[in-house]
């Protein structure tokens, strides 16, 4: 009697691995650029603030397409697209009101996106490389609360956002490396 073994879709880890490496690179460059303009809202910092959640939307769309093709979970990814899109609009308004408003919006986004990332990672545990995403989601949630708190400080700065983005990028890098090891282990 022959038994058929149905392999798990390998394109999911490959797509996630590539996406996670890209997200790390983007976060590192973005953080370095924002750090140089962290004390004021000028044209460059405003553009960077809007580009980050836009990139998050694009990455979530790529992730969503891969999940759909492979029968993976899509609800957290749809939520992420909506949350990040609304964040772009809210940040566009907040940048006209000053750093405290930006920190409040970014903080709210970090909480919502962190919870979404935590759920997405938990749901996709079986694809591998998701524990760093779960931890990153939890840290994002806590960081978001701290950004809202920092908004009330005497001298608010965007410097914490640069550190937050870089750390998030490191978690994407760790996940990409773990997925690479897992993919090579299957061959």
Which of the pair, 1 or 12, is modelled with greater confidence? 12
Average pLDDT over residues 6-33: 81
What's the pLDDT score for residue 142?
A: 96
Q: What is the pTM of this model?
A: 0.86
Q: Regarding predicted confidence, which is higher, 115 or 7? A: 115
What average pLDDT does the segment 169-178 reach? 90
Q: Which two tokens stand for residue 176?
A: 């990409």
pLDDT the model gives residue 67: 86
Instruction: For residue 126, name the pLDDT band (cuts at 50, 70, 90).
Output: confident
Longest dimension (CA), the chain: 74
The residue with greater pLDDT, 16 or 85, is 85
Q: How confident is the model at residue 35 (pLDDT cuts 50, 70, 90)?
A: very high
- With beta carbons less than 8 A apart as the criterion, state whether 16 and 179 touch: yes
Structure tokens at 121: 């990672």
CB atoms within 10 A of CB 34: 23
Which of 32-41, 118-127, 158-167 has maximum average pLDDT? 158-167
* Residue range 71-98, pLDDT digits in tens: 888 898 999 999 999 999 999 999 999 9
Assess contact for 60 and 77: CB atoms under 8 A: yes
Computed over every residue of the chain, the mean pLDDT equals 87
User: Residues 25-46: what's their mean pLDDT?
Assistant: 93
| DSSP letters spanning the chain | ------PPPSHHHHHHHHHHHHHHHHHHHHHHHHHTTTTS--HHHHHHHHHHHHHHHHHHHHHHHHHHHTT---HHHHHHHHHHHHHHHHHHHHTTT-HHHHHHHHHHHHHHHHHHHHHHHHHTGGGSS-HHHHHHHHHHHHHHHHHHHHTTSSS--SHHHHHHHHHHHHHHHHHHHHHHHHHHHH-
Summarize pLDDT for 98-125 with one digit per residue, the tens.
Answer: 999 999 999 999 999 999 989 888 887 7
Q: Tell me the backbone φ, ψ of residue 2, rounded to 5 degrees.
A: -90, 140
Phi and psi, residue 71, nearest 5°: 70, 25
Number of CB atoms found within 10 A of residue 37's CB: 19
Residues 187 and 28: their CA atoms lie apart, in Å, by: 31
Q: What is the pLDDT of residues 134-152, one digit of tens each?
A: 998 999 999 999 999 999 9
């Amino acid at each position: 009697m022959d038994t058929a073994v149905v392999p798990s879709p390998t394109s999911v880890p490959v797509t996630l691995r590539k996406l996670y490496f890209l997200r790390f690179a983007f976060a590192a460059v973005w953080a370095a650029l924002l750090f140089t303009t962290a004390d004021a809202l000028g044209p460059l910092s405003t553009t960077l603030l809007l580009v980050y959640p836009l990139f998050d939307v694009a990455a979530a769309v790529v992730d969503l397409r891969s999940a759909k093709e492979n029968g993976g979970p899509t609800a957290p990814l749809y939520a992420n697209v909506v949350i990040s899109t609304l964040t772009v609009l809210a940040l566009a308004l907040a940048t006209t009101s000053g750093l405290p408003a930006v920190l409040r919006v970014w903080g709210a986004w970090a909480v919502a996106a962190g919870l979404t990332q935590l759920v997405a990672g938990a749901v996709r545990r079986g694809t591998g490389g998701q524990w760093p995403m779960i931890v990153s989601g939890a840290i994002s949630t806590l960081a978001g609360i701290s950004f809202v708190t920092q908004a009330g400080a005497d001298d608010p700065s965007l410097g914490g956002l640069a550190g937050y983005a870089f750390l998030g990028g490191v978690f994407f890098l760790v996940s990409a490396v773990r997925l690479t090891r897992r993919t090579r282990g299957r061959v």
